[in-house]
Chains A and B, each alone.
Chain A
Amino acid sequence: NAGVTQTPKFQVLKTGQSMTLQCAQDMNHEYMSWYRQDPGMGLRLIHYSVGAGITDQGEVPNGYNVSRSTTEDFPLRLLSAAPSQTSVYFCASSYSRADTQYFGPGTRLTVL
């Protein structure tokens, strides 16, 4: 098992550009989520999904879109990047909504 994988590891964008952060897991986990970590802080939930075709907003969803067309993949889309979205982004998954979440290695995003 590769676990939770994220691509890219690093990305630099200009304000207004769009991009998609990729997240995949090969553990047949139902639950997947995206968090962001700002310097010196804990993680905050952006969006989550409890299964294919079902997504919902977390604590800080503005500026981000998600979809879940398959169990394995949960991409995060930034439609028009802003400097405030400079952060480290983590994807996580768990077997169910009541299980321990396991995190991917993270994507470090800088928006200039």
Chain B
Amino acid sequence: AQKITQTQPGMFVQEKEAVTLDCTYDTSDPSYGLFWYKQPSSGEMIFLIYQGSYDQQNATEGRYSLNFQKARKSANLVISASQLGDSAMYFCAMREAPGAAGNKLTFGGGTRVLVKP
């Protein structure tokens, strides 16, 4: 069974509008972390935002926010005021039980975002 599911393979968004990227996860571990990474066409993986399973508030980093709904096991990324430079592939990833397997990240299949001017 997939542990991280990103159901949107691709989406368009108009410049300056907000976009929500979906991510659902599956784990029985009470302690886990959720990450979002951006991969532009140049290929590097850029860390965007992190949410811990025990964090009470949704994480925010500049124009990025994470809509964390623990009961639904979802961790959607919201990008506000989209810019042309936001066009990229976005990956959701989960880390379970840091002590068991190091710092292993399990990745979803990604969502490609194209920002239209």
Interface residues of A (CB under 8 A from B): 31, 33, 35, 40-45, 48-50, 56, 58-59, 88, 90, 92, 94, 96-106, 108
Contacts and interface: CB of A to CB of B under 8 A. Distances in A.
Contacts, number: 68
A31 B104 CA distance: 10
Given A92-B45, A100-B47, 19 more contacts: A31-B103, A33-B103, A41-B109, A42-B91, A42-B93, A43-B45, A45-B105, A48-B101, A50-B102, A56-B102, A58-B101, A59-B104, A98-B98, A100-B35, A102-B47, A103-B37, A103-B44, A103-B46, A103-B47
B30 interface: no
B107 interface: yes
A94 B103 CA distance: 8
Interface in B14-66: 33, 35, 37, 43-47, 50
Contact of B102 (A97, A106, A108): A97
Interface residue SS majority, chain A: strand
Interface of B: 4, 33, 35, 37, 43-47, 50, 91, 93, 98-99, 101-105, 107-110
Contacts of B108: 42
A33 B45 CA distance: 14
Contact of A105 (B35, B43, B107): B43
B23 to A, nearest CB: 11
Contacts of A50: 102
Nearest to B35: A100
A48 B110 contact: no
A100 B103 CA distance: 9
